[in-house]
């Protein structure tokens, strides 16, 4: 499939008037087509069924380079799959996109694809750790969003607990950052963790909660008794 064919598939699902609303909502200057998320899911599911991994990587890269909002979402969705044999090129492409993040929606879709690759090979957390000291706020935020799977295990293995504690260490280094999106990411990680590991969440809030913004501290403890 060529880039032009892929863009034609997306443009065929444009809903009149939707692009203007998306541009106003996301507040990042780029082209918006006005295609719904369910429609992009449907389109990319069809693409994944017909393309090899290498072809998907090539198409995803081309879609990303257009900087069209829906094309970047489609690029991420092309690579979102739990099991991908020979996934090193997929991971490398995802990592290459991180410095381009400039909005939460695109970043979160890419991080969903990245989560699958981290779970497939947890040693890749070493790469993610390097993001935590980046000057780029969206890169720092991505370190927490992409590691969210380690908040969700009810019976984690020792190696998973080690990653959980490692990421909590990153979160602790973020609490003095006044950027709203960073505070929100810390709260998100803790809130999800509290459903499966309330003791660690309480311990984190006891140690660091007084330095978090009030909204973040409240959200982090939302599910704690």
pLDDT-derived band at 225, boundaries 50, 70, 90: confident
pLDDT at 38: 97
pLDDT of 72-102, one tens digit each?
999 999 999 999 999 999 999 999 999 999 9
pLDDT at 87: 97
pLDDT at 119: 97
- For the chain, the average pLDDT equals 97
pLDDT at 223: 96
Q: Nearest CA to 38 among 13, 5, 11, 71? A: 13
* Token representation of residue 11: 């443009």
Please state, in angstroms and rounded to a whole number, the distance separating the CA atoms of residues 182 and 203: 20
38: which residues sit within 8 A by CB, 6+ positions away? none
The mean pLDDT value for 201-216 works out to 98
DSSP state letter for 107: H
Q: What dihedral do alpha carbons 129, 134, 136, 137 form, nearest 10°?
A: 60
The mean pLDDT value for 165-173 works out to 98
pLDDT of 31-71, one tens digit each?
999 999 999 999 999 999 999 999 999 999 999 999 999 99
Structural domain boundaries of the chain?
1-120, 134-225
Task: Give the phi and the psi of residue 51 in degrees, each rounded to 5.
Answer: -110, 145
The mean pLDDT value for 158-180 works out to 98
Q: Does the structural domain 134-225 have CATH classification 1.25.40.290?
A: yes
pLDDT at 136: 98
The whole-model pTM stands at 0.95
pLDDT at 149: 98
pLDDT at 33: 97
């Amino acid at each position: 499939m060529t880039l032009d064919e892929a863009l034609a598939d997306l443009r065929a699902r444009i809903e009149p008037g939707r692009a203007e609303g998306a541009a106003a909502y996301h507040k990042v200057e780029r082209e918006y087509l006005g295609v719904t998320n369910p429609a992009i899911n449907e389109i990319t599911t069809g693409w994944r069924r017909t393309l090899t991994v290498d072809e998907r990587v090539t198409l995803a890269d081309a879609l990303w380079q257009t900087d069209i909002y829906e094309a970047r979402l489609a690029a991420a969705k092309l690579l979102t799959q739990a099991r991908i044999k020979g996934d090193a090129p997929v991971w490398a492409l995802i990592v290459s996109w991180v410095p381009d993040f400039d909005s939460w929606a695109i970043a979160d879709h890419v991080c969903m694809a990245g989560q699958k690759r981290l779970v497939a090979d947890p040693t890749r957390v070493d790469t993610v750790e390097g993001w935590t000291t980046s000057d780029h706020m969206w890169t720092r935020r991505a370190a927490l969003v992409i590691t969210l799977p380690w908040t969700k295990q009810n019976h984690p293995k020792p190696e998973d607990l080690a990653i959980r504690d490692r990421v909590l260490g990153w979160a602790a280094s973020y609490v003095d950052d006044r950027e709203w999106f960073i505070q929100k990411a810390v709260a998100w990680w803790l809130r999800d963790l509290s459903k499966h590991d309330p003791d660690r969440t309480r311990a984190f809030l006891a140690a660091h909660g007084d330095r978090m913004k009030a909204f973040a501290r409240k959200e982090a403890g939302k599910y704690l008794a």
